């Protein structure tokens, strides 16, 4: 049962990720990416990581995708120039194969380190426990994340503001 | 039912899934020339790593992995906001966000 759900979700994740990369229209890419993010949230829900599943839905499928779609709609790509260099495609495919090879080799080599998985039965990922961990052990990084978000907000506003005419 | 998810599916399947997703992201960064799609590919790579972090958090029954995913999501949100603002600024100047056109620094 769980295995079937896992395979279906993984198929959706990989297929939509590929379609994100391959589809010509950036808006289609964005919509495929939303589906991809939803399926990843499904993976999180399967791990019973409720907090992360919700945050993932809110942050990625909500905020980030809206931001991307707005940006795409602000720039109108009326003409899609197709002058793809064949060399780039070949190089990209070769790089993809090499990276996949290296990563798989690394992880397969690491396989013997993975022993049998044991369930201790203790609660470690409910929202209650996670909140305690976040605000006890990781309080300073948490506040730093707040400062980072504030800084990035100010930076985004400054960057996207129209340049004022410099008065002589 | 959800308690024994890793016993039923196995951590290696999640490793393979995350690897495949990461490679798709790398392929997108190298293959596409539209800067926004390159951005989306970077998001895919970030998500692959987040997925693996959550998998190993469950594997070790430790909440630290999930806290790290939370922070990486915060950083990703900041990164997207800044990156898209930069893209808008570039588009305003060049009327294009094709990364082949961004060669002003080439000299």
Angle CA A35–B73–B64, to nearest 5: 115
pLDDT digits (tens, 9 = 90+) for A122-155: 777 788 888 888 899 899 999 999 999 999 999 9
Q: Stretch B37-47: mean pLDDT, rounded?
A: 93
The reply to whether residue A149 touches residue B17, judged by beta carbons under 8 angstroms, is no
The domain spans of chain A are: 1-77, 124-160
pLDDT digits (tens, 9 = 90+) for A43-96: 999 888 888 999 999 999 888 989 889 888 888 765 555 566 788 888 888 988
Question: Would you say B77 and B89 are in contact if contact means Cβ atoms under 8 Å apart?
Answer: no
pLDDT digits (tens, 9 = 90+) for B45-83: 999 999 999 988 888 888 888 899 999 999 999 999 999
Domains of chain B plus CATH, in order, are 2-101 (1.10.287.3510)
Distance from CA of B82 to the nearest CA of A (A): 5
The answer for A 5-44 residues in CB contact with B (under 8 A) is: 6, 10, 13-14, 17-18, 20-21, 26, 29-30, 33, 36-37, 40, 43-44
Instruction: Check residue A31 and give its pLDDT.
Output: 92
**Cα A132 from Cα A41, distance rounded (Å):** 23
Phi, psi torsion values for B84, nearest 5 degrees: -70, -35
Instruction: Check residue A142 and give its pLDDT.
Output: 92
Q: Residue B22 is nearest to which of A103, A149, A159, comparing CB atoms? A: A103
The answer for B 64-93 residues in CB contact with A (under 8 A) is: 64, 66-67, 69-71, 73-82, 84-89, 91-92
Structure tokens at A34: 């939303």
**Cα A161 from Cα A71, distance rounded (Å):** 14
Which residues of chain B are within 8 Å of residue A36 when distances are taken between CB atoms?
44, 47
CATH architecture for segment(s) A1-77: Up-down Bundle (1.20)
Q: How confident is the model at residue B11 (pLDDT cuts 50, 70, 90)?
A: confident
End-to-end CA distance of chain A: 72
> How many CB pairs (< 8 A) connect A and B?
212
Question: DSSP assignment, residue B97?
Answer: -
Q: How high is the ipTM of this complex?
A: 0.90
Could you tell me which chain A residue has the CA closest to the CA of B12?
Answer: A111
Structure tokens at A13: 């994740």
Distance from CA of A83 to the nearest CA of B (A): 10
Round the average pLDDT of chain B to a whole number and report it: 86
The reply to whether residue A119 touches residue B21, judged by beta carbons under 8 angstroms, is no
Residue A32 in this model has a pLDDT that exceeds 90: yes
């Amino acid at each position: 049962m769980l295995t079937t759900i896992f395979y279906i979700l993984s198929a959706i994740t990989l297929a939509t990720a590929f379609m994100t990369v391959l589809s010509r229209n950036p808006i289609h890419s964005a919509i495929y990416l939303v589906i991809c993010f939803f399926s990843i949230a499904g993976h999180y829900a399967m791990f019973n990581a409720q907090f992360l599943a919700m945050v993932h839905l809110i942050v990625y499928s909500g905020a980030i995708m809206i931001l991307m779609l707005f940006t795409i709609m602000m720039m109108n790509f009326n003409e899609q120039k197709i002058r793809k260099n064949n060399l780039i495609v070949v190089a990209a495919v070769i790089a993809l194969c090499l990276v996949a090879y290296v990563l798989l080799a690394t992880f397969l080599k690491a396989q013997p380190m993975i022993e049998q998985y044991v369930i201790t039965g203790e609660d470690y990922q409910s929202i209650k426990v996670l909140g305690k961990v976040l605000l006890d052990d990781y309080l300073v990084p948490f506040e730093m994340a707040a400062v980072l978000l504030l800084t990035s907000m100010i930076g985004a506003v400054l960057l996207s503001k129209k340049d004022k005419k410099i008065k002589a | 039912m959800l308690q024994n998810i890793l016993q039923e599916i196995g951590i290696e399947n999640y490793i393979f899934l995350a690897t495949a997703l990461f490679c798709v992201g790398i392929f997108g960064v190298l293959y596409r020339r539209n800067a926004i799609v390159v951005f989306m590919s970077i998001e895919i790579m970030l998500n692959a790593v987040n997925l693996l972090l959550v998998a190993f958090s469950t594997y070790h029954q430790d909440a630290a992995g999930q806290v790290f995913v939370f922070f990486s999501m915060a950083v990703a949100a900041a990164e997207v906001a800044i990156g898209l603002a930069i893209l808008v600024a570039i588009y305003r100047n060049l009327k294009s966000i094709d990364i082949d056109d961004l060669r002003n620094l080439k000299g």
